[in-house]
Amino acid sequence: MGLFFDNVHIRKNDKYNTEALKSELIRQLSEQGFVPLPHEGEESVCVAICEPPHSDWVSVASDTFQFSVEEAMKKTAVHFSQRFDTDVLCAACFDSDFLQLLLLPAGDAADGWINIGRSEEIPHRRRTKLSPWGKLVGDMPRLKEIVRTEHVFAEEAFAQIAELIRMEPAQATLEVGASDLLPAGQITRLFFAAPPGTVRPPRFVIPLYGGMPCRIEKSSVVSVYNTGGKSKGLGVMFIGDCVDQGEIAFEDVKLQLRRKKAWEFVPIELKKADRGDGKTCWYWVDPSFPIPPAVNENIPLRKRLLLAFERGIGVRFTPVGNPRKVLDITVVVYPLENPSGQVSWCVYTYYGTKRRYIEKHNAMIGDEQKELFWLDPDAYDLD
């Protein structure tokens, strides 16, 4: 995976000082409902300020910066340019494939955009315009060379441009998660609590619905996330005709959890029971299992996704038995305090039938992937 970052760079002048910048950032976030904190918390939002002593620029990264929309980048640049009457540069990098820079010179209506690389997920962007960079860059031929070069990693271009405008190259990739790795300059961090989120009953969702079926004697995992409030008590069930008829059983069943940013695996013991409808299932219940709450929806999206990943609950298992029946496996995960908040995984659910699932799955497989991922309809009981 490449780099993702959104940052802002403010050119120092006699109207700028660090305390004024900190006050401005606190004011902006307070207006959005964020509350300053004395230290970092699990759901806190961070702002990192980098001010190398030998750089003409001070750099800011924040969990709240989201420059996927050009209007957001321009609005941020205009705000800081007007506040400090200086040049402002905004940067956004998407997976090291695409870099976009916006330079807003002080007191000048012209703005300069630079695009490096490309991404199919960002097909249309503002056209590159280099003339506004002229007052900062003494070597315009070198700038044009950097922009026209094919870069393996798009952010490399920004590090090279940084040298042309008297910015430390390490500032170019400033982002909150890695700000402590920068060797250059002082890093100041501010922390904020997001506005309170909505409290709902616990309810599970599957964030990434797996498209491959289980395989006999191969470990599989189904992961769920809570979209509601904190609760206690977790249940897991394995159901389906293959389970009811005793053609599939499950071994090495365990919960897959994130604890202190590392994986932890907790073995669980399944029991067989009557579901109450004349069919059987394998199940496990722990009334005391702590279910973490959903991440506050007011936390910016990128950090919200990272926190949600840390709070996910995975059920890992190895099916054994008849390989023709594995498409029937259904995994149900539910919170005991709100059983209706359950979620179930069955590989062909969204396609209606097993045959249609295989057809759609195979249609998406490229020739180079067939050996690994192609599904043979004759290998499964479809009717």
Closest CA to 174 of 166, 183, 165: 183
State the average pLDDT over residues 84-109: 89
Q: Where are the domains of the chain?
A: 5-193, 204-347
Question: Could you tell me if 342 and 204 are in contact, meaning their C-beta atoms sit under 8 angstroms apart?
Answer: yes
Query: Who's near 287: CB < 8 A, 6+ residues apart?
Result: 232, 233, 336
Is residue 109 predicted with pLDDT exceeding 60?
Answer: yes
Is residue 184 predicted with pLDDT exceeding 80?
Answer: no
Does the domain formed by 204-347 have CATH 3.90.320?
Answer: no
- Cα–Cα separations (whole angstroms), residue 96 to 162, 222, 364: 17, 30, 26
Is residue 334 predicted with pLDDT exceeding 90?
Answer: yes
What is the per-residue pLDDT for 84? 92
Q: Give 285's pLDDT tier (boundaries 50, 70, 90).
A: very high
* Separation between Cα atoms, residue 202 and residue 43, nearest integer Å: 19
Question: Could you tell me if 283 and 342 are in contact, meaning their C-beta atoms sit under 8 angstroms apart?
Answer: no
What is the per-residue pLDDT for 261? 81
What is the per-residue pLDDT for 301? 83
Q: Give 70's pLDDT tier (boundaries 50, 70, 90).
A: confident
Is residue 181 predicted with pLDDT exceeding 60?
Answer: no
What is the per-residue pLDDT for 200? 92
pLDDT digits over 153-178, tens only? 999 999 999 999 999 998 999 988 76
Q: What percent of the chain has pLDDT over 90?
A: 63
State the average pLDDT over residues 30-44: 91
pTM of the shown model: 0.76
Tokens of 62: 């924040």
Is residue 288 predicted with pLDDT exceeding 70?
Answer: yes
